[in-house]
Amino acid sequence: MPITLLPASAAAFAPRSSCNVVLNTKVDPWLTATLKRINRIKRPLNSVPQHHRCLTETLSSPAAIWTLCSMMLPKAPDSELRKDSNPLIEALFNYQLIHIEAYVVHVDMVSQNEVAFKLTPETIETLVEYHKDIYCADKAASTYNWSEKEVQVKKLQEEFNQAANKFVYRTNAIALEGLEEDGAGELLSGRSEEVKNAISGLFLPLLPPPPRITDVVRPQPLLPSSPGTGNWWQPTLPPPHPAPVESWKVVPSSPSATSSGDSNASIWASMGLNEIQLPSPTPSYSQPYTQPYTTSGYFSASQIMAPVAQLPLPSMLAQHQCSTSAGFSGFGWDRYQEYAMPYAM
């Protein structure tokens, strides 16, 4: 893209001077028709120099002021505006219509085919006053206070003043079709909306400083000896394994030979001779156990804790049975002939 150079009159705070016009070797028919339309005095337009002279004189006239757009702006800060139920009355008393005016500083129909407009000093002054007295006042009232707020507001005003003086609107050269008598004119084909958006972009917001990043102060951990700490610093340990218990201290859920034998060892020594009772002989044959399963057929913990019946010692039984009167008669061996087997001969 070729570098676009603007004349010195387009610089910020530069005074207005003669318009800079650059035409091609062949003039477009629409430009010839426009110049003939606006000229009160019929001037010959048969060559490029004639078009150049006519266009330069027309755009350099003090009356050649273009209206780029119109903006509706409030007359006072928001806190001073009139409140009314009728929106039409509010618009009439609270808002003003500002015309954004500019003059042509550059016409290039060779490389860029564009025209450049610069805001008039009156328009710049109006925008700067509105920005300072109304816009900044509303922005300052809508933000919180900080130490450098006033400095930031003044900086915002200075930046807007610089931007308004540097503002140059550039568009296609066909915009010169809106040229009127004495060099004045208006933008056509929706270009006014482009200017309005560009002017609105000059109003920057008042941004407060970002919050400072501060280190998070964490409380110091309390020592174990500090009061009120409890055992929060101790790690959670798994539950300890139960201590080993000796087998003779465990109460079984059902009687067994091992537990009965161990418990009977202390019974034999405390049993007297007169407490010996012979158990009934165990039958050689018994019916199979067919009782259905019930919980009542088992010993409970309360039954296990009941005292165990005292049994006679084997040595005490031998004192009574091992005598001459006992012999074999007590066991029925004297009747052995009755038990003779039929097959014995």
Instruction: Please give the Cα distance from 109 to 25 (Å, whole number).
Output: 10
Strand segments, DSSP code E, in the chain are 20-22, 66-74, 95-108, 114-119, 168-172, 185-186
Q: What is the pLDDT of residue 197?
A: 95
pLDDT of residue 162: 96
CA–CA separation, 13 vs 161, rounded Å? 10
pLDDT of residue 253: 52
| Report field, pTM of the whole predicted structure over 0.85 | no
Check if the beta carbon of residue 205 is closer than 8 Å to that of residue 139: yes
- Cα–Cα distance, 96 to 131 (Å, whole number): 14
Q: Give residue 318's pLDDT.
A: 52
Q: Work out the pLDDT band at 52, boundaries 50, 70, 90.
A: very high
pLDDT at site 212: 72
Average pLDDT over residues 50-75: 94
Residue 237 has pLDDT above 70, yes or no: no
Dihedral angle, C-alpha 289, 294, 299, 301, nearest 10 °: 170
Q: With a cut of 60, say whether residue 17 has pLDDT above it.
A: yes
Structure token digits, residue 311: 């049994």
In this model, does residue 12 exceed pLDDT 80? Answer: yes
147-173: per-residue pLDDT in tens?
A: 888 999 999 999 999 999 999 999 999
Average pLDDT (123-146) is: 94
Count of CB atoms situated within 10 Å of the CB of 48:
13
Helix axes 121-130, 149-166, angle to 10 degrees: 160
Among candidates 288, 278, 257, which has minimal Cα distance to 330?
A: 278
CB contact burial 312-328 (16+ within 10 A = b; e otherwise):
beeeeeeeeeeeeeeee
Q: Are 109 and 22 in contact (CB under 8 A)?
A: yes
Average pLDDT over residues 194-216: 85
Q: Above 90 in pLDDT, residue 296?
A: no
Residue 280 has pLDDT above 80, yes or no: no
